[in-house]
Amino acid sequence: MIFPLYATLFLAGFFCTLWTGFVLFLVPCAALLAWETLNWRKIIVEKGVPLSRLSIMIAVLRSYLSFVCHLCAFGSRYYLIWAVVLVFLWQTASAVIFLLHLVTAVVDYIIKRPCLNFLSFLFFFTLEQLSYQAGVWYGCVRERDFGSINPKVVWSGASAEVSK
């Protein structure tokens, strides 16, 4: 799993603000957003593409949101089954996993636009995730290899620097 540096730092500051209510955590978030926007602006100007700073900043924010969706999808895809187990032992962890799953389901519902109401979609989406996880976890236990469910964290450089 690749963790983009600026997106990770931005989201860490943002969630620290949500968790603590201390709004000064947003100052480094704004600085990171401005820094990455200016880096991308420099690259885009060099390539001769006429984009405004605002549209670049919106694209950077969208990339941060995409990273959140990626993290939520990973948690939902491999650990939802543990939310059911942990519901009686560790409610906070269970609630976080269920929240990751719900975010993933909402995003999938918006993207796929199925001909179902959301609750029906959520039911079938949850069944699909749980059945996939049961197979993955069964294979991991059978082979005694948990590499597929334990993410290998790789820190990427800033996205503007990587694309050069």
Domain ranges of the chain: 2-162
For residue 112, the number of C-alpha atoms closer than 13 Å in the C-beta half-sphere is: 14
Helix (H) or strand (E) segment spanning residue 129:
helix 118-143
Report the C-alpha gap between 108 and 106 in whole angstroms.
5
Kindly report the pTM of this predicted structure. Answer: 0.72
- Supply the Cα-derived Rg of the chain in whole angstroms: 19
For residue 104, the number of C-alpha atoms closer than 13 Å in the C-beta half-sphere is: 22
Distances, alpha carbon 84 to alpha carbons 67, 79, 87, 158, in Å: 25, 9, 5, 37
Where does the pLDDT of residue 157 fall: very low under 50, low under 70, confident under 90, or very high at 90 and above? Answer: low
Longest Cα separation, the chain: 57
How many CB atoms within 10 Å of residue 70?
Answer: 16
> Which residues on neighbouring strands pair with residue 2, listed in sequence order?
154
**pLDDT tens digits for range 127-139:** 999 888 888 888 8
Report the C-alpha gap between 158 and 164 in whole angstroms.
11
Predicted confidence (pLDDT) at residue 64 exceeds the cutoff of 80: yes
Strands 154-156 and 2-4: parallel
Where does the pLDDT of residue 60 fall: very low under 50, low under 70, confident under 90, or very high at 90 and above? Answer: confident
68 in helix, strand or coil? helix
